[in-house]
Structure 1
């Protein structure tokens, strides 16, 4: 969900004007304003720049993540795009944005990064496509943790289950096509989901 409609109304700006500035159709902008569609983070930042507001002012998210506090109470965490395969890349050119996160959630900021969730394999755990995942970088996990795992150069977020020599990555989905992954090949834990930011 976003707050573009509220910001436009507060500023007395018409959707037609915003559509012209974005070089997009009125129907597309109206879909964003009415929350029928959600803009990408890149577009959200562009809209924020046009409206002279902070990107977080356009987001209707948990105040514990984007608190309405002084700037010293937040720290910028890099958003890396939705990873389809391979390791998350932390080079500057691969960072989509810097997102302010409440300091109480990230005790050591350098240990954290954000990823955008894709698909519906974890929707009953409250992770929907488009949500942002705050990931704590670590290479170990406990049973029950939601982990970012790398399997054969493909990254996935699943519940980690470990029983003796068997490791299972378990989906939690209303879509029955998603089945547990029983690991028989090498895999690596890249991090653990510390927080889900609903979008």
Structure 2
């Protein structure tokens, strides 16, 4: 079982993997952003009575945050607890690439780890989102047309023919599509170069 600091580290890791901003996490658990920040900075002790709320916000079980293994040797009950998620193709983590929308294959995952909503996987190509998202990672996208500042989104641009995965930053009348890799430049979007957000990156996994 994890200690208090290890639980916080697990929460931070899960939030990062899911592209979840501090503001969004605070909203989901019904707490002030400053309070959640103090837990992350370890200036205040994490309240275990809020464990269930944080687990729900991160789409995991309280037992997972505590490090309690309910299913030894990765054995899970199969009945009604797996979901097939389609892989819709590739998305650029670098220069935009032609959008791919055909279903290549499906990935079967444990349903308890999934957020709500219409979900699909895209395969990251390139390293502009490294180290957050590595090249070749399978990125789980929840379909939605808006994301908060700082969240990672799958974006269609150039008349819905090119797709890219970037962090969103809104400033006045422009939108910045920001890479996490400093070797890449942001993409600047104005009213003359509209984009369409197709979903929010919520999780990813990659093969060794």
Structure 2 length-normalised TM: 0.55
Q: Which residue of 1 aligns with 2:11?
A: none
| Offset, 1:82 | 1.0
Runs (4+) off by over 6 Å: none
Matched, 1:128 2:131: no
* Alignment of structure 1 residues 24-39 onto 2, 5 Å: none
Q: 1:196: how far off?
A: 1.1
Q: Would you say 1:189 and 2:197 are equivalent positions?
A: yes
The size of the alignment, in residue pairs, is 125
Matched residue, 1:173: 181
Segments of 5+ residues of structure 2 without an aligned counterpart are 1-68, 92-96
Q: 1:140 aligned to 2:146? A: yes
Q: Give, in whole Å, the separation in 2 of the partners of 1:104 and 1:163.
A: 37
* 1:88-127 Cα shifts (integer Å, max 9, x gaps): 42xxxx2221111221333446x000011100000121x1
Q: Give me the whole-angstrom Cα distance separating, in 2, the residues matched to 1:186 and 1:103.
A: 35
Aligned partners of 2:186 and 2:115: how far apart in 1?
32
The correspondence of residues 90-101 of structure 1 with structure 2, limited to 5 A, is 94-101=102-109
2:33 counterpart residue number = none
CA distance in 1: counterparts of 2:171 and 2:82, whole angstroms? 39
Give TM-score, length-normalised by structure 1: 0.58
RMSD, matched Cα = 1.9
